[in-house]
Amino acid sequence: MNTPVPSAATTDSATLSLREALALLDDRIAGRVLISGDPGWDEARSAWNLAVDQNPAAIVVAATADDVAHTVRAAAEFGLAVAPQATGHNAGPLAANDGLAGVILLRTHEMRGVEIDAESRIARVEAGAQWGDVVAAVAPLGLTALAGTAHDVGVVGYTLGGGVSWLARSHGLAANHVVAIEVVTADGGARRVDAEHEAELFWALRGGGGDLGVVTALEFGLFEVPALSAGMLLWPIERTAEVFTAWSEWIDGIPTSVTSTARVLRLPPMPELPPFLSGRSLVVVEVAMQEDPARVDELIAPLRALAPEVDTVHPQSSAELLQLHMDPPQPVPGLGDGMLLAELTPAAIRAFVDAVGPDASSVLLSAEIRHLGGMMDPGVARAAASVHGTPQPGVTAGFDAGFLLFGVGIALPDNGEALAASLARLLSAVEPWAAGSDYLNFAEHARPAERFFGDDLERLRAVKRAVDPIGVIRSNHPIG
């Protein structure tokens, strides 16, 4: 269990000592140290979700892996903890209940290096790299990464939590394709771990989140995808029940080359949106299909038979996938949360539609259900690794669940109660079909660690005790 560290100084003399220690650290690193009141403080402490208020004892903006090591050592010496953060996605659980008191927020967003070995199809990315950086580097080489759904998602945080991409049903979680990790542990030492070097830590980091050390670089596999079509099919929100029912029947038996999401959108009138989206309430199916165009037409015919108002499915490069989900292009204030569903029965669809469909009073911007299965089944992922002679997956190999739900809305000054109520109604409505676990990256509020790691939790905690016995490293979802 994480040992509490003292909060930032409570007396004038202690404040002076903290300032002196931070000034010494600032002199040692290529990056910079900030304390409250410094120019750039508010920008540096901002999470991607602007509704999250982060108030650490200090902030270090790291420029190099050496900066990370210096920061971790200085924090341990001064009785502080360190919370690594690149983009600040999913920062809510870390900041809640004054969770950053006595903590140095270690921002790695300026460490954006990306190196590609096209021959071995391996990418090496630094701690602050975003998926837009990686895709821009690999697409000209005809290679594809198991990227998130938006260009500004941080590669490291996404991957340490598992990583569900548009190719996940055929390729599994992004974490399963990590081949090496460079990490600074609580003693300030830099390690490079893989399947043969510190294998237990390598296992724990792949899907265990950010509680075990500060990852300064990842190496992971890239893929060739010879054929890809993707896009969305769109109908008025009044057809939500019909579309979700048809989609749930369509995915039954669909090949793993197809990953899809069904969602309800209530979009505000925004000039940057095209007219067919701006200010409208819609039901949408998004698809990514690794098939040639003729096979795509054959597979998608049952959905097209519903006469969508808009159909953008077309052959494309994998780089276009970053635009498919229409995630906001910049940080916004929001409230959201996710849930794994064991199954999607007709009753579950009715409950979902009642909560967010045309007759609901929901103010959620988006309520979506992603189809899982295929290589995201943990047993299938482990068996595939054995057959292909690749490293066995880490602590999160996949999900014992068929679907992943997420609801989110934009937090405005006048909609806080309505937004919270809408999210609560959605989660409560589908609770009877919840799986027995949760997905780290989609859990925007604190959960017991057992919900993420199940029977592997004690093994994971043993790794935490071995590399961080006094709890120097803090994450949004601590192992405990």
Look at residue 34 and tell me whether its pLDDT is greater than 80: yes
H or E segment to which residue 132 belongs: helix 131-138
- Range 132-138 average pLDDT: 97
Crossing angle (nearest 10°) for helices 346-356 and 240-250: 150
Look-up of token digits 């099919």:
233
- Range 286-302 average pLDDT: 98
User: HSE of 176 in the Cβ direction (CA atoms, 13 Å)?
Assistant: 31
Look at residue 301 and tell me whether its pLDDT is greater than 50: yes
Quick one: how far is CA 134 from the chain centroid? 16
Look at residue 22 and tell me whether its pLDDT is greater than 50: yes
Look at residue 336 and tell me whether its pLDDT is greater than 90: yes
How many CB atoms neighbour CB 271 within 10 A? 5
| 405 vs 420: CA distance, rounded Å | 16
| pLDDT score of 240 | 98
The alpha-helical segments, DSSP class H, found in 36-109 are 41-45, 65-78, 92-95
H or E segment to which residue 408 belongs: strand 403-410
Average pLDDT of every residue of the chain: 94
Residue 107 CB partners (closer than 8 Å, separation 6+): 44, 59, 60, 61, 62, 85, 86
Nearest in space to 234 (alpha carbons), one of 284, 196, 277 = 284
- Range 464-477 average pLDDT: 97
- Range 123-140 average pLDDT: 97
| pLDDT score of 421 | 98
| 21 vs 70: CA distance, rounded Å | 12
Look at residue 18 and tell me whether its pLDDT is greater than 90: no
Report residue 7's pLDDT band, with 50, 70 and 90 as the boundaries.
Answer: very low
Look at residue 13 and tell me whether its pLDDT is greater than 80: no
| pLDDT score of 15 | 53
Report residue 274's pLDDT band, with 50, 70 and 90 as the boundaries.
Answer: confident
Crossing angle (nearest 10°) for helices 346-356 and 416-430: 170
Report residue 19's pLDDT band, with 50, 70 and 90 as the boundaries.
Answer: confident
| 104 vs 140: CA distance, rounded Å | 39
Domains annotated on the chain, with CATH: 13-107 (3.30.43.10), 114-224 (3.30.465.10), 229-442 (3.40.462.20)
Task: Give pLDDT tens digits for 101-127.
Answer: 999 999 999 999 999 999 999 999 999
Q: What share of the chain has pLDDT > 70, as a percent?
A: 97
246 vs 10: which has the higher pLDDT: 246
- Range 51-58 average pLDDT: 96
DSSP state letter for 97:
G
Look at residue 1 and tell me whether its pLDDT is greater than 60: no
Take residue 412 and report the two structure tokens written for it.
Answer: 């405005």
- Range 190-203 average pLDDT: 98
Report residue 11's pLDDT band, with 50, 70 and 90 as the boundaries.
Answer: very low
Report residue 9's pLDDT band, with 50, 70 and 90 as the boundaries.
Answer: very low
